[in-house]
Amino acid sequence: MSVSLATVLAESALRRPDHPALVTDAVTLTYRQLWSGARRHATVLRRHGIGPGDRVALLLPNSPEFPMAYFGALALGATVVPLPTTLRAGEIGYVLTDSAAAVLVRADGPGSDAGVEAADATGTPVLTLTGDFARDAEPIPGPVPRAPEDVALILYTSGTTGRPKGTMLTHLSVFLNVELGRESPFAMVADDVLLGCLPLFHTFGQICGMATTFRAGATMVLMDRFDGPRAVRLMAAHGCTVLMGVPTMYHALLAATEHGPVPPLDRAFSGGSALPVAVLETFEERFGCPVYEGYGLTEASPVVAYNQPAWPRRPGTVGRPIWGVEVVIARADVDDRVEPVPVGEIGEIVVRGHNVMAGYLNHPEATATTVVDGWLRSGDLGLFDADGYLRVVDRKKDLVIRGGFNVYPRELEETLIRHPAVAQCAVIGVPHPTLGEEVCAVVVPRPADAADGELPGRIVAWCRERMAGHKYPRLVVLTDALPLGASGKVLKRELVARYAAPGALP
C-alpha cells in the first residue's frame, strides 16, 4: 500500500485545476498554479540532495511559499518540520539539531535572521525563498510513493514542561484526519471559502485549515497575521463561508463588529482551548451561524472529538469522538495502565485510534509514558455525559488545589466571562501559606471599565454570589492583555510566573 500526504493537493489540482486554491493580498493562485509551484520547489530541494526520509525544516510565515515548500517536500517523500516564526535562534537551533534537519527553508524578509543564525550554529544548509525561487525549475512529475507508516510531519510541542518534543505523525494518520475532518465535522465542500487566519506552522491551521481546504478543492483566504478588523473586511470582501479560530480570535472578532457591519458566515469552528459558552452564544447571535467546538492535540493528528452537523450541538462540550477514534475517561492518578472511571466522573482523557502519533522523536521514555497499551494519555481532564458528549474540564497541570479542594479554572472562567466588565480572563493558582494555593483571576477589563479602581473588589463579590465558597477567586488582578503563544493560546504558565512571586500581588 502506498499513500502520500502530497496527494491532498495533487488530486484537487487534477479535479479543479482552474479553481482558486489560495488568495492573499498580493496574489490568487489556482490549484494548477499552486501544485505546479510545489513541484518546482520539490525540484530545487532535490537538487540540494533532499529525498525520501530527509527532514526539511520550514521557517516560513503565512504566505504562498508555505504550502509550496510544504507539499513540495512531501512530494519528494521528505518529512516536514514546521517551525513557529516567533522562535529565537537558540530555539530554532535546538529543533534543527534534534530533528537532524537536512535543510532549513526560510523566507527572505524582516525577522528571519534568527533562522540564519541558528543554521550557522548547527551547520544546517539554508534555502532562502526569494521572489524568483524555483521559477525556472522543471516540476517533478508527481509524489514519490510512501508507506502508510512513514513519517510525514514532525510537529514540535510547545514545551510547557521542558524542552519541546518532536511529535511524529505518519502519512496515513494525517491523511485520515484530513479526510474525516473534510466530511465531518468541517463538512467542507468545493464552493467553501475559508478564512485562513490561523498560523500554518500550527496543527490547527495546517491540518484542519489548509489541508482540509485543499482536500475539498475549496478556497483559502490567507492572512499573514490575524487582526480582528482586517479579518472582518476579508470575510466580507471574499465571501468567506467558514471560520476556524482559537478563542482569542473570537473575542477579537466580537470586538471588531461591536459597532460595525457583520459579514455573513455559514459555520465556525473553535479549537485550541476552551471557548466560553457566553462568547459562543454571542458570536452565534451576531454572525448568524453555528459555532462548533472541538478537541484535539498535536499527538492525535490532531482531531479527537467535535461537535458536528451530524448530530445536535451541545455548547460547553467538544462533541463526540470522530469516526475510528475511541476516547475513555481514565483515573488520572494511575500512570502505568488505563483504568476507566464511571460516566459522569472526572478523569484523564485517553485516546486510541488511527490518529495517535508514532511517538516522540528521540524520546522513547516520554513516548512510553504517554502512549500506554496503545492509549494516548492527553494530560487533559474531562468527563462524558449520559449522551456520550465529551466535556473538557481542564489541563491536569492547571488544576488548582485550594485547601484540599479541587478547583477547575475553566469552570470559573465560564462564569467570569459573563461579568459585564470582563472582556477576557484566565484563572490560575498562586501559592498560599496555609491553603497551599489560592484562586487568582487575571482579568482584561472592557475599555469603559479599565480605570475603575473598585472593579477587582466588585468582581470578587460578584463571583462569591455565583460560585461555591472554595471556588470563587479571592484575588482579582487587572491587566491590559493576556500573554499568548504562537498559536493564540493563553500562556497560563507565564501568568503563574508573573503573579506567583512574593510581592507580585496586592
Contact 347, 206 (CB under 8 A): no
In this prediction, residues 342-353 reach a mean pLDDT of 96
- Among candidate residues 395, 426, 457, the one where a domain is terminated: 395
Q: Which of 53-57, 199-203, 370-374, 450-454 has the lowest mean pLDDT?
A: 450-454
Q: Is the peptide bond before 145 cis (omega within 30 degrees of 0)?
A: no
Q: What is the pLDDT of residue 86?
A: 87
Q: What is the CATH number of the domain that holds 486?
A: 3.30.300.30
What's the chain's Rg over C-alpha atoms?
Answer: 23
Please report the pLDDT score of residue 109 as a whole number.
75
C-alpha pair distances (Å), 238 with each of 60, 189, 198, 289 = 24, 16, 17, 17
Lowest mean pLDDT among 106-115, 169-178, 218-227, 427-436: 106-115
Confidence check: pLDDT of 274 > 80 = yes
Q: Are residues 493 and 409 in the same domain?
A: yes
Residues 388 and 468 in one domain: no
Q: Which of 374, 395, 416 is the last residue of a domain?
A: 395
Predicted local distance difference test score (pLDDT) of residue 294: 97
| Residues 423 and 470 occupy one common structural domain | yes
For 64-99, write each residue's pLDDT tens digit: 999 999 999 999 999 999 999 988 999 999 999 999
Q: What percent of the chain has pLDDT over 90?
A: 85
Bridge partners, 28 (sequence order) = 23
346 & 409 share domain:
no
pLDDT in tens, 356-384: 999 999 999 999 999 999 999 999 999 99
Are 383 and 437 found together in one domain?
no
In total, how many domains does the chain have? 2
Nearest to 235 by CA among 221, 246, 248: 221
Distance CA 68, CA 90 (A): 27
The model's pLDDT over 412-454, given as tens digits with 9 standing for 90+, comes to 999 999 999 999 999 999 998 888 899 999 999 999 999 888 9
Domain containing 429 equals: 399-499
Are 404 and 458 found together in one domain?
Answer: yes
Q: Give the whole-angstrom CA distance, residue 130 versus residue 199.
A: 21
Does some domain include residue 151? Answer: no
pTM for the model stands at 0.90
Domain boundary among 344, 360, 395: 395
CA 297, CA 219: separation in Å to the nearest integer? 25
Mind listing the pLDDT tens digit for each residue in 206-263?
Answer: 999 999 999 999 999 999 999 999 999 999 999 999 999 999 999 999 999 999 899 9
Whether residue 373 sits in one domain with residue 317: yes
What residue has cell string 480572563? Answer: 425
- The verdict on 385 and 411 lying in the same domain is no
Pairing mode, strands 151-156 and 166-170:
antiparallel
Structural domain contains residue 301 = no
CB atoms within 10 A of CB 486: 15
Q: What is the DSSP string of 212-279?
A: HHHHHT-EEEE-SS--HHHHHHHHHHHT--EEEE-HHHHHHHHHHTSSS-----SEEEE-SS---HHH
pLDDT interval class at 469 (50, 70, 90): confident
- Does any domain span residue 282? no
